[in-house]
Chain A
Amino acid sequence: MDHEEVERLIEAGVPDAEAEVTRPRGVDDDDHLAALVVSPAFEGVSLLEQHEMVYDALGEHMTTDIHALELTTRTPEEG
């Protein structure tokens, strides 16, 4: 799955999220993605639940066409 599509899905699924999805192994490798997601919805929510919110936004793509996603979540205050 294309990294911009992953970005779009996260931003659509997590309230007021800003997602930045990169390809840490290079622009030719769409299999290994890294996402930095900033959303006020993460405020006061455990890290586990924060990650689950992002995985929920990606739905079944997470088990089908996303091979690996390194995830970092932040509230706007944490930058």
Chain B
Amino acid sequence: MAFRNEPELSPEEARERVDEAIESNDVVLFMKGTELMPQCGYSRRALGLIKQHREDVATVDVLAALDNYREALEAHSGWETIPQTYVGGEFVGGSDILAELDERGELAATLEA
């Protein structure tokens, strides 16, 4: 990212933010970019799929410290890929799994935390 004034998060800070976000939100999406400006097609797709079924979703922009966030997320899901969706503290998957659940008509129920 070209213009980023804040110093990058440390591994500990990234871990704390991830733990806190998963614990305190019914639905949270870790994504590249923000809700208003997704920076990756897969993050955009994941956000769009969630938004079809619920307005209330927390997002965390992992680009603030990509490597540290990957590591912190892997401790929860075993996955290093972005985006990652958690519902009620449980890992659901990335954009492919959201799309597949949507196709099967199961996404709305999955997102009901």
A68 touches B97 (CB 8 A): no
Which of under 10, 10 to 19, 20 to 34, or 35 or more describes the interface residues of A?
10 to 19
In angstroms, how far is the closest chain A Cβ from the Cβ of B96? 5
Chain B binding surface, main DSSP class: mixed
Give CA–CA (A68, B79) in the complex, Å. 14
Interface residues in B, total, Cβ within 8 A: 12
A48 touches B97 (CB 8 A): yes
In angstroms, how far is the closest chain B Cβ from the Cβ of A50? 9
Q: Of B42, B92, B96, B101, which is in contact with the most chain A CB atoms at under 10 Å from its CB?
A: B96
A52 sits at the interface (CB 8 A): yes
Give CA–CA (A6, B91) in the complex, Å. 26
The residues of B with any CB-CB pair to A shorter than 8 Å are 42, 78-81, 91-93, 96-97, 100-101
